[in-house]
Amino acid sequence: MTAIDDRVTGIFENLEVPEGFKAELIRGEIVMTGGADRVHNWIVEAIRDQLPRARWHRSTTQDIELPGLTSEPQPDLVVYERDAVEGPGRLIPAPLLTLVVEVVSKTSVLRDYRTKRELYAEGRIPAYLIVDPIKGLSVLFTEPGRAASGVPDYAVERTAKFGESIPVDLLGVTLDTSEFQTYA
């Protein structure tokens, strides 16, 4: 990290985020977004409810640490084994995560489909699920690595329309998307 990266990280860590907003550090930029639509929250809740609590932490509003990158994103849902982390702390290191979920909003399309896809692949997070209430589909990316162009990416992509199930083999579950709704 450079001195500028350190300053931005320091500002980010001490940032007072107004109630109802979310702040993330994405590639050295502080990105602040407003509160989520109800449909967004219902999707996150529906996914969370399908993941066995006995085996998985299913955390919302959890910042993650991507070692070596000037980014501390806050996915809509992070999933990791119950014994992976002990004690208090704001950041979960990316190598401990099994799945991150982003629910697309009208203002996050490019960030979720491109920027975060690259970040999560570079952070070697095994699975990244994008749920898109604009298009009415879910896209599961697995096997992080690099594309032929050298850009961090996932080797496997599985797409399902809302109403179709989507297997998440790493978690040992098949997600039922029949409750997922599109935005008005």
CATH number at residue 111: 3.90.1570.10
Residue 20 has pLDDT above 90, yes or no: no
Residue 31 located in a structural domain: no
Residue 83 located in a structural domain: yes
89 burial (CB, 10 Å; 0-12 / 13-18 / 19+) is exposed
pLDDT tens digits for range 50-65: 999 999 999 998 999 9
**CA separation for the pair 74, 36 (Å, rounded):** 13
Residue 8 has pLDDT above 70, yes or no: no
Task: Domain of residue 118: give its range.
Answer: 36-175
**CA separation for the pair 20, 81 (Å, rounded):** 29
Residue 36 has pLDDT above 90, yes or no: no
Residue 28 located in a structural domain: no
pTM score of the predicted model: 0.87
Q: For the chain, how many structural domains are there in total?
A: 1
Residue 180's region, left for phi above 0, alpha for psi from -120 to 50, else beta, is beta
Residue 140 located in a structural domain: yes
Q: Report the pLDDT averaged over residues 135-142.
A: 98
**CA separation for the pair 60, 35 (Å, rounded):** 13
pLDDT, the chain, mean: 90
Residue 28 has pLDDT above 80, yes or no: no
Could you tell me the sign of the dihedral formed by the alpha carbons of 104, 108, 109, 113, in that order? negative
Contacts of 116 (CB under 8 A, 6+ apart): 26, 73, 75, 102, 128
Residue 90 located in a structural domain: yes
